[in-house]
Amino acid sequence: MVFVGLGSNLGDSAAILQAAFVSLDELPDTRLLKASRLYRTPAWGLTSQPDFLNAVAMLDTTLTPQALLAALLRIERDAGRLRRDDGSDRWGPRTLDLDLLLYADQVIEEPGLRVPHPHLHDRAFALLPLVEIAPQVRIPGIGAACDSLARMATDDIQALPYTPPPPTHAAR
């Protein structure tokens, strides 16, 4: 099981995230198993920007973590995400942000790829949708995601009315 965090705060964020769920399901050797609801969350890091919509996708994939990350970056670019080479826009507004949160129970530390996501256990905007679709999931080196979530405030996060996830491919 692989979990990907989705976020957007520019443009029609709900439509962008729904399209991203479809794009994830269309990746080679990958199937979207579950998609969380969308959550409206205050900006984190650089707070003087519009609220985000966030969600989490559960995937089944045979792509390597590196190949999956490359695919996530392509999906971001296709959605209009521009990244500055110097990283100065790291906390700024974006059309689409896709983060590889968990890749099974692997721990990966290499340039450009850290799994589990190094701040996952500190971010309610990622934990809330993660725990919604995988209540028993564990963060390697940290413990149960639900325990991390229980230690933080979530009253500033609003679940949006439920939108069913897009259908997965019936045949591959």
Active site residues: 81, 94, 97, 99
Task: Take residue 159 and report the two structure tokens written for it.
Answer: 């679940």
Cα 38 to chain center, whole Å? Answer: 11
Could you please report the per-residue DSSP string of 113-124? EEES-TTGGG-H
Query: CA–CA separation, 116 vs 143, rounded Å?
Result: 11
Bond preceding residue 116 cis, omega within 30 of 0:
yes
For CA atoms 128, 54, 64, 167, give the dihedral sign. positive
For 15, residues 6+ apart whose C-beta sits below 8 A from its C-beta are none
**Backbone torsion region of residue 143, taken as left when φ is above 0, otherwise alpha when ψ lies between -120 and 50, otherwise beta:** left
